[in-house]
Amino acid sequence: MSDKIDVAVDPKSFVLATGETTEATATLRNLGQSVDQLTLSVEMLDHEWYTLPVSSVALFPNDQDNLKLILHPPKTAEVKPGSYPFRIKVVSQENRDEEAVVDLTIEIRLLPGLELAISPQSITGWKGGYNIELSNPGDTEAVLQLSASDPKGSLRYSTKPESLTVPANGRAEANLEVRLGWLSFLGGEKEFDFQVRATAPEAEQSITTDGQLVRLPFYKYFPKIQLRRIGFFAYLTRIRIPWLRRHPAISAFQATTDDRRDYKLSWSVKRATEVKLGDEEVESKGEKLLSPNQATDYILTASNKYGTASKTVTVKPITIPEARTSERIRATLSPDRLQVTAGIVSSQTTLQLQNLGDIVDKFLVEVEGVDESWYNRSASSIALMPQATDQVQISFQPPKAKGVKSRVYPFAVTVRSQTTPEDATSILAQLEVLPSVEFKLTVRPYRLTVRRKGTFRVNLANTSVSDANVRLDAVDLEEGLKFLLEDEPTVVPAWNTVEVPVVARPQRGSIIGERKRYDITVTATETAGNSQTAHCELNHHPFIGSWRTVFRLVRIILFVGIIGTLIGLLIHWGGGWRMLTGNPGTWWDQLVDKIVGAFSWFSK
């Protein structure tokens, strides 16, 4: 350990799966007698596993500062479950022999990159049947336990099977039946949200997806009874009962955002005759996109003849300071317009600093307007003698993650004096995230068995920073199906998923025909030319398998008819049914006489 450097890291051990992200804080302290620049580095760990937004800091004697370390083990086949030790080392720039180290560990619990999906997402009624699909893109099979639950225990579940083995690079399906509990059957319309969980016991990890069962008022499950409004019933309708005077209710009113720039307001109101968002009249249920420049309060007001209800939501977007200069600080940024490709190509700018004051000062370098994970600084602070100059390199590389979109992001670089914080210089700049489109195509369910037609749900998941215009096409090898598709391209917003129905109808009849399987290929093509394909299967089972079955049935009917007719004639010739049941001997003698007489007539 060093006598001039002290370093502490919190926490010292980490447990996470590949693809996850966590942070650690390193506290650096200068125990020496002079101003020193301390540089932090990570050893025994690949560069793809971590990010250091700031790797160097200038400290006065007995001064300290915090540096952030972001850990993100990559989701690759090379990363195996286990413990990975690594080390943080802090070195003095004044004396390279002065260094301090801290030993840390990362424990990886690897769960295959499984995907869990439920279809349909929501069902209306007192019970519903859902299809659960698990996809395993990994190289090893996964054994998973399926379960479902809701926060209040209002639903009952039945999963078949309860355990699934998903082969490598394959998929598996299960059926889930959800029904209302006895105590949840009565009441008005209500949405019950539940969660389906697939757990890998060996990895002690799980993945989840959400579903919904919508309960209707119990009286809607029974036939409607029409009562004429006459006499006593007409009088009852004019009676005002106090407990029926129900005020409006705001079920939900919230603002959501991915980047603290664009916000989506969504609301749902019950029993209201008038709903207003601010001064604007809106529907009882809806949403609105907003891009406020400063902290703003949005007020939703619902009213009816019994009263008024209101709710307020406050949004606080990212704010950028105005450009300003200080007589003690000279700062220039070159270039001040940058272009980057999210997750791939970075861009670097240079901040040139000069201390125009008369004393030794420490200057803090801050980047405002973009998230900390978007950039790295060569130093977060610099100590300068009077009239001295120095540089700070700032590298921008926005991650390819939800919330990052193709657009221009204004930001500011602020240089602030530690001695007098009110002295600061702010430089305005722009960061442009270049467009790129990537999407994923999935079709659910994989297999359908129908008599007339089947509907596949095509999911288009946009995993890029730009909106995607995707056109769908479906074909089968034998050209025995007709497909109903939208003519216009489907717009899939960045980091969103859109579900498009594709209806397949066999050209052969649904009453008579042979059972046949059709292999379908669904193709999604983006306007730039990128395309993906997915496969599904439709099994056509007509009511009657083939014409041979029809002919066989006709022959059987004719045979049975002829036999029945002959039996009827014989009974009639013998004297009828009463004679047969009452006096069988007489009936038999009359039948024999009839037959003998018929043969005698033919022999003449």
Q: Tell me the pLDDT band of 151, cut-offs 50, 70 and 90.
A: confident
pLDDT tens profile 258-267: 888 889 999 9
Burial code (b: 16+ CB inside 10 Å, e: under 16) for 310-327 equals: eeebebebbebeeeeebe
Q: Write the secondary structure of 204-227 as one string of H (helix), E (strand) and C (coil).
A: CEEEEEEEEEEECCHHHHCCCCCC
List residues bridging with 406 in a β-sheet: none
pLDDT tens profile 460-490: 989 889 999 999 999 998 888 999 988 888 9
**Cα(419)–Cα(347) distance, rounded to whole angstroms?**
32
Q: Are 338 and 431 in contact (CB under 8 A)?
A: yes
Q: Are 142 and 205 in contact (CB under 8 A)?
A: no
The sheet that has 142-149: what strands, in order across it? 122-124, 205-215, 190-200, 142-149, 163-166
pLDDT tens profile 280-325: 999 999 999 998 988 999 999 999 988 899 999 999 998 888 999 9
Q: Are 165 and 137 in contact (CB under 8 A)?
A: no
Percent of residues in the chain assigned helix, strand, coil, to nearest 5: 10, 50, 35
**Cα(354)–Cα(385) distance, rounded to whole angstroms?**
9
Any idea which of 113-127, 144-158, 333-347, 431-445 has the lowest mean pLDDT? Answer: 113-127
Percent of the chain at pLDDT above 70?
A: 91
Helix (H, G, I), strand (E, B) or coil at 213: strand
Smallest CA-to-CA distance from 192 within 209, 215, 173 is with: 215
List residues bridging with 458 in a β-sheet: 443, 500
| One-letter amino acid of 566 | L
| Parallel, antiparallel or unpaired: strands 99-108 and 82-92 | antiparallel
The more confident residue out of 189 and 473 is 473
- Those residues with Cβ within 8 angstroms of residue 46's Cβ, 6 or more apart along the chain or in another chain: none
List, in order of start, the domains of the chain with CATH numbers: 5-108 (2.60.40.10), 115-221 (2.60.40.2310), 231-315 (2.60.40), 329-433 (2.60.40.10), 439-540 (2.60.40.10), 552-603 (no CATH)
pLDDT tens profile 219-230: 665 554 444 444
pTM for the structure as a whole: 0.63
pLDDT tens profile 408-457: 999 999 999 988 888 999 999 999 999 988 888 989 888 888 888 899 99
